[in-house]
Structure 1
Amino acid sequence: MIILCPYDRVEAALKKFEPDRVITIMDTVGSANFAGIPPERHLKIGYTMAEAARTQKCAPHCDTVRIRQMIDFAAGNDWSKPLLVHCRLGLSRSPAAALIIQCALSPDIPEVRFAEDMRTLSRDVEPSFMMLAQADDLLQRDGRMLDALDAMGESSGASVGEILRIPYLPAKAT
């Protein structure tokens, strides 16, 4: 399972779901420390809202290092326990991360299926175009991740997300 939430609900999600690992994706990640989560089980990725919101297609030389770190870290999750992914609002960066992780760790499942499943679970999420463009480039998906994003349609326009549980187990670790 992948748990998504905004920063202000991380402590509640940690208590309720007891994840194996945590991924923090925020502008400033230095202060994101949580009791009971040792550093080796907490990946902190600095990714600003401005970076996540760009709408141009990703150039071939775009930075995919952070995307690869996220995939590799998630691949090491003990999937008998959830993976918790959060960003500031729980609407853009963490949902994009969840889609990226699902696509990377289950390469034989169509990208659009994960996007449609996420939209069924939440009308609020609006995964980051730029993160998905970078992942599409890294994973050589030929635009299918961006097509999946388009298939999700418009979000509700919520200003902050809720705790979202995505029932997911990887088909294959990369």
Structure 2
Amino acid sequence: MSRTIIVAPLARAGEMAARYHCRHMLSLMANGHDFAKPGIVESHHTLRMNDIAFAGTGKLVGPGAQHVSELMEFARRWAFDGPLLVHCWLGVSRSPAAALLVALALLPGLSDAALAGRLRSAAPFATPNRRLIALGDEALGREGRLIEAVAEIGRGAECATGLPFVLDLS
């Protein structure tokens, strides 16, 4: 049983899937941002949303409760069956937020602060999407603990794109 979540920008998703033998992949991409699923991936789910911190307007789709619900369902189907690859366009905001939510959905006893600290150590550039974190906090009954933990680690370092990183939940 692997308790490993690999987070990557889209440009490195195929490489990370191959390197870590990821058969499961969660994609958080805006409408119209199409991509090829790596051949090794057997179980894949795409959540279509923009990286914004509000509900959205016009063509912009903000993270919503339905996205969080689908994310939780995918997490339960994965349930640590090999490494999970989570990616978004840059690997900085949506995918780090999703990785935290997947971890807490499957391991509800984890400390929000300790998990956010692990994220910051693994990815100094990560700035988890605030709306996705807030919706996940509510859906998981964290009572504000996840929101507070992510606020505590603060905004990540400036970067043009994120680098792949491993969130080890062992």
Give the TM interval when normalised to the shorter protein. Answer: 0.7 to 0.9
CA deviation profile, 1:126-163 (whole Å, cap 9, x unmatched): 00000001111111211111101111123111121011
Report the 3-state secondary structure (helix = DSSP H, G, I; strand = E; otherwise coil) of the residue aligned with 1:65: helix
Q: Which amino acid aligns with 1:25?
A: L
Match of 1:9 in 2: 12
Quote the sequence identity (%): 27
Structure 1 vs Structure 2 CA RMSD = 2.0
Matches within 5 A, 1:12-51: 12-28=15-31, 31-37=34-40, 41-50=43-52
Match of 2:59 in 1: none
- Give 5+ residue unaligned stretches, structure 1: 56-61, 170-174
**149-158 vs 22-31, which deviates more?**
22-31
TM-score by length of 2: 0.86
Report the 3-state secondary structure (helix = DSSP H, G, I; strand = E; otherwise coil) of the residue aligned with 2:78: coil
Moved over 3 A (4+): none
- Give 5+ residue unaligned stretches, structure 2: 56-62
Does residue 1:117 correspond to 2:118, yes or no? Answer: yes
Report the 3-state secondary structure (helix = DSSP H, G, I; strand = E; otherwise coil) of the residue aligned with 2:157: coil
Q: Which amino acid aligns with 1:54?
A: F
TM-score by length of 1: 0.84
What is the CA–CA distance in structure 1 between the aligned matches of 2:33 and 2:92, rounded to whole Å? 21
What is the CA–CA distance in structure 2 between the aligned matches of 1:114 and 1:143, rounded to whole Å? 14
Count of residue correspondences: 160
